[in-house]
Amino acid sequence: RDGDAGPGTPCPSTTTSDTTAAQQGWTPMQWHDRLEEIRDTTGDPDDSLDEVPYTLVRAVKIIHENLEHIRTVADVCVRVPCSESLLRQMFDEHHDVSPGVYIQMLRVQRACDTLRCVPGATLEGTARAVGYRHKETMIRAFKRILGVTPGRYVRECRVRGGVMLVG
- CA separation for the pair 131, 8 (Å, rounded): 27
Res 106: pLDDT: 93
**pLDDT, tens digit (0-9, with 9 covering 90-100), for 88-112:** 999 999 888 899 999 999 999 999 9
81: cis peptide before it, omega within 30°?
A: yes
Res 51: pLDDT: 75
Question: Considering the entire predicted model, what is its pTM?
Answer: 0.71
Q: Which of 14, 6, 26 is nearest to 108 (CA)?
A: 26
pLDDT over threshold 60, residue 157: yes
Q: Which of 37, 47, 167 is nearest to 96 (CA)?
A: 37
pLDDT over threshold 70, residue 42: no
- Characterise 12 by phi-psi region: left (phi > 0), alpha (psi -120 to 50), beta (else): beta
What do you get for the CA distance between the two ends of the chain, in Å?
Answer: 18
- Characterise 53 by phi-psi region: left (phi > 0), alpha (psi -120 to 50), beta (else): beta
- CA separation for the pair 155, 112 (Å, rounded): 12
Res 29: pLDDT: 63
- Characterise 24 by phi-psi region: left (phi > 0), alpha (psi -120 to 50), beta (else): alpha
**DSSP conformation class of 10:** P
- CA separation for the pair 106, 102 (Å, rounded): 6
Model confidence at 7, pLDDT cuts 50, 70, 90, reads: very low
Q: How many helices (H) and strands (E) does the chain have?
A: 8, 0
Res 85: pLDDT: 96
- Greatest mean pLDDT among 7-11, 36-40, 99-103 lies in 99-103
